[in-house]
Amino acid sequence: MIQIRKLDSTAIDFQETLDALLAFEAETDFAIEQAVTGIIAQVRARGDEAVVEYTNKFDRIPNGGAADLKAFEIGQAELDAALAALPDAQRAALQTAAERIRVFHERQKQELQGFTYTEADGTILGQRITALDRVGIYVPGGKAAYPSSVLMNAIPAKVAGVGEIVMVVPTPDGVKNQMVLAAAAIAGVDRVIGIGGAQAVAALAYGTESIQPVDKIVGPGNAYVAAAKRRVFGAVGIDMIAGPSEILVVCDGTTDPDWVAMDLFSQAEHDELAQAILLCPDADYIAQVEASIQKLLPTMPRQDTIRTSLTDRGALVKVRDMDEACEIANAIAAEHLEISAEEPQQWADKIRHAGAMFLGRFSSESLGDYCCGPNHVLPTSRTARFSSPLGVYDFQKRSSVIQVSEAGAQTLGKVAAELAYGEGLQAHARSAELRLKS
């Protein structure tokens, strides 16, 4: 038996209870901050040597550790061999997923082409889109090593046209995850180095003798990696620091309750802090989902994680109606939002904030996690209010282009000078005025 929280939106303390349930603030661990600051300083000062030392120690590299960074290079032949050695079904699945991810992200690229327009006086204004030169992708080692994440991080960079994609992945005890290497081969990663932790982040950000600095670092990692990414931000770009993963299911009560229960499990199995919430206007249906949860939980290999996650952070919420469910969904701004309902579009139209929306009962989140095509790196912890899924646009940037004609300088110069004098910036004003014909 599992005790899962049941809430009712008409309860007087509902909002307060929901807010408390949603609250998640990553704590700052000063011991980690301090350790990471030291590691970064060492890598900046001593380069390869420091990276090798830390890697030998933290990843328990066997046989007394590696002598130099070259020993951690994982060459193309090794990636290709890992791909060839996969079971056929697994290789085919990875390839299908990669191709679908590529197709979706090509659409993102098509959308962002930049623009130019010419004004009547010949002045040209525009916006140019260019790809980043070099990107680092962090891939965790050990139990959280997900080949699907390699595809989701590397393919958008590839589609964007990034010049060089460098992947780092730790090899704890010297063990390499073959499926991760196979995914790197499929995604077209340019270089793979078997290092991880804050030392890998520092090496990517600042460069060493054998690693050229990158322009941006993406990908998930443990608390040390997250702290290191935060610290190197500015020197390089980073993606969002992800919080625990979340699913919100809005259901009208017409979906097989086993399906909804399993969808909640699929989020809860990630880790104990993951959050799975159901909103439904039908109390009987909620009871059926609860029964499905009780029935199906013992069949799940990761039932301990699921139980803790659902008990601590999950909820089954009875709402007044589907309209209210949509309002609450906007306040939650979930990473994953399933609208498991007849004619889901009517409800989707009311949603303003969600990382990804899964519409209709056949759109389980798990399909999106692996192979629908859209990215599975999504804004967590209500950040979908202001941020977006990882995409091609994260590996591109814009530059404004301004080409003022001589005629344009006559009109614009007077406006600029007026405002510059108003702000007390006389060199700005004079710079505009010098271009005026007397």
Q: Which of 88, 51, 54, 86 is nearest to 181 (CA)?
A: 86
Q: Per DSSP, which regions of 158-210 are E strands?
A: 164-168, 191-193
Q: Which of 274, 280, 292, 275 is nearest to 250 (CA)?
A: 280
Catalytic residue among 105, 336, 338, 365: 336
Asked if residue 398 binds a copy of itself (CB under 8 A), the reply is: yes
Here the tokens at position 167 are 């992947």
129 bridge partner residues: 398
Only one of the segments 55-63, 310-318, 321-329, 430-438 lies at the binding site for a copy of itself (rule: CB under 8 A); that segment is: 430-438
Q: Please identify, using beta-carbon distances, which residue of 124 and 175 lies nearer to a copy of itself.
A: 124
Residue 427 burial (C-beta neighbours within 10 Å; 0-12, 13-18, 19+): exposed
Lay out the sheet containing 134-138: strands in order across: 73-74, 191-193, 164-168, 134-138, 216-218, 237-238
Site for a copy of itself, residues 44 to 63, rule: CB under 8 A: none
105 labeled part of a ligand binding site:
no
Amino acid found at 52: V
Q: Please identify, using beta-carbon distances, which residue of 189 and 260 lies nearer to a copy of itself.
A: 260
Here the tokens at position 428 are 């700005």
CA distance 109 to 120: 31
Q: How far is the CB of 412 from a copy of itself (least distance, A)?
A: 5
Q: Which of 41, 283, 291, 425 binds a copy of itself (CB under 8 A)?
A: 425
Q: Which of 15, 16, 26, 174 binds a copy of itself (CB under 8 A)?
A: 26
Give catalytic status of residue 335 as yes or no: yes
Here the tokens at position 155 are 């393919």
For residues 174 to 213, the per-residue mask of contacts with a copy of itself, x marking binding by CB under 8 A and - elsewhere, is -----x----------------------------------
Only one of the segments 65-73, 165-173, 265-273, 321-329 lies at the binding site for a copy of itself (rule: CB under 8 A); that segment is: 265-273
Site for a copy of itself, residues 78 to 97, rule: CB under 8 A: 89-90, 92-94, 96-97
Q: How far is the CB of 360 from a copy of itself (least distance, A)?
A: 5
For residues 225 to 254, the per-residue mask of contacts with a copy of itself, x marking binding by CB under 8 A and - elsewhere, is ---------x-xx---x-------------
Half-sphere exposure of 238 (CA within 13 A, CB side): 22
Site for a copy of itself, residues 352 to 381, rule: CB under 8 A: 352-375, 378-379, 381
Site for a copy of itself, residues 302 to 331, rule: CB under 8 A: 302, 306
Q: How far is the CB of 432 from a copy of itself (least distance, A)?
A: 5
Only one of the segments 46-54, 70-78, 282-290, 425-433 lies at the binding site for a copy of itself (rule: CB under 8 A); that segment is: 425-433
Q: Please identify, using beta-carbon distances, which residue of 72 and 370 lies nearer to a copy of itself.
A: 370
DSSP labels, 78-146: HHHHHHHHS-HHHHHHHHHHHHHHHHHHHHHHHH---EEEE-TTS-EEEEEEEE-SEEEEE---GGG--
CA distance 294 to 311: 12
Q: Please identify, using beta-carbon distances, which residue of 44 and 46 lies nearer to a copy of itself.
A: 44
**Dihedrals φ, ψ of 275, to 5°?**
-125, 130
CA distance 103 to 95: 12
Site for a copy of itself, residues 336 to 355, rule: CB under 8 A: 344-345, 348, 351-355
User: Which residues does the annotation place in the binding site for Zn(2+)?
Assistant: 267, 270, 369, 428
Which residues are identified as catalytic? 335-336
User: Which residues does the annotation place in the binding site for NAD(+)?
Assistant: 138, 199, 222
